[in-house]
Chains A and B, each alone.
Chain A
Amino acid sequence: MARIIQAAWLALAALLLPGCSFAENKAPDYRYRLTVEVETPDGLKTGSSVIEVQQTLVRAGSVPANQAVQRRVRGEAAAVDLPGDKTLFALLRSDNDPNWASMVYVLLAPQENKPFEDALDDVLEVTGKRTLPRTWPADLWIQERSAYPMLVTFGDPADPTSVAKVDPDNLAATFGEGVKLKRITVELTDDPVTTGIEARLPPPSPKGFYVMRMEVDGEQRTMLLGRSAFSKGTQK
């Protein structure tokens, strides 16, 4: 029995020779600039932020024999200063996906039928400034969902419980007539990661949350919004 186990163990090791895809990390890191453009009665207002996505090939936790890509984000929300001393923040998450910032370029990349390891650097083929679609299309079990980052503002810039969700299709409802989202774009860049947004935010709760007011099924509710929606890995 011991001989059989030893043979199986050595056979597994033989499959993992140096130079095979498991030993080489072919999933590249990259940075992109997230830019939000808003039309206002005072003209076009913009805000942007450079976000870094660090990719590492790992064993898939559910099936350790398989590969998976672990993605970590370093960066912060984009802030747009609007008339009336208001600020619109485009967060690192979307309405439904806390991993939004790490997945944007994966979803924009060409969706081709190719082996997993050949598709790892497809994100780098998304060149130039790209305007985000309003939604990602439905696919298999996945419903159509927003392609935009979550948009929020603070009712009181000193109050961590005053976050209000902003409807990207109706900025005027929050900021007044004449305020309209023009577009949200992303573009690969080598610029340094943007830092410093914490200076514009009230401190979160001791557990690291802000409180956001939003409407759910016609009812006013409050939602815990983690500080990592505003910045990750950029504070010293």
Chain B
Amino acid sequence: MNRDVFLSLLALDAYNRSYGQTLNDLEVPNFDTNGQPLQNVRIGNARIISDSSLLGETADGRIDEAAGFYAIAYEWNNNGINETVISYRGTNFPDLSNLTSEAAEAAWDDSSARNASLAC
């Protein structure tokens, strides 16, 4: 498989693992006290070796989940060469669920005004 395509798959895979996963039931291994995976969970030739659950937990839950962050690391055997790949998610997308046309136009006008001032 093309390298860029597989790296894109691994980038997408971060959205489909652990808490808040977009696709349900994709597995993440459990980890031992040394942070090593207890199960052999793979996507293609990439094996999951760590994730941000190891950052720890408080009384309110996982630290990574509280921050809206998730990272997962793979060991990828790419034609005999072992590479470590880290994928992460957590972009702070604005909530567009209540966006009205008036608000969109106001945002556009604000952006246009700022761009115009930069062009001067």
Contact = CB atoms under 8 A, between A and B. Distances in A.
Contacts, number: 109
A211 B33 CA distance: 7
A128 interface: no
Interface in B23-55: 24-25, 27-28, 30-33, 38-39, 53-55
B13 to A, nearest CB: 9
A10 B30 contact: no
Contacts of B54: 224
B103 interface: yes
B100 to A, nearest CB: 6
Contact of B98 (A6, A23, A208, A224): A23
A13 B61 contact: no
B104 to A, nearest CB: 3
B97 interface: yes
A70 B57 contact: no
A200 interface: no
Interface residues of B, number: 44
A115 to B, nearest CB: 17
A216 B38 CA distance: 7
B96 A22 contact: yes
Contact of A23 (B24, B97, B105, B112): B97
B93 A18 contact: no
A73 to B, nearest CB: 9
B95 to A, nearest CB: 8
Contacts of B19: 98-99
Interface string A199-236: 00000100111010000100001111011100111010
A48 to B, nearest CB: 22
B53 A226 contact: yes
Nearest to B39: A216
Contacts of A113: none
Interface in B53-105: 53-63, 89, 91, 93, 95-101, 103-105
A61 interface: yes
B108 A9 contact: yes
A224 B101 contact: no
A226 B104 CA distance: 43
A177 B52 CA distance: 41
B108 A224 contact: no
Interface of B: 12, 15-16, 18-22, 24-25, 27-28, 30-33, 38-39, 53-63, 89, 91, 93, 95-101, 103-105, 108, 112
17 contacts: A6-B108, A10-B101, A16-B96, A16-B99, A58-B97, A60-B15, A68-B22, A99-B21, A208-B56, A208-B58, A216-B38, A222-B33, A224-B33, A224-B54, A226-B62, A232-B61, A235-B60
Kindly list the 10 A-B residue pairs having the minimum CB-CB distance in the complex, ordered from nearest.
A13-B104, A208-B57, A207-B56, A62-B15, A235-B59, A13-B101, A226-B57, A22-B97, A142-B25, A228-B61
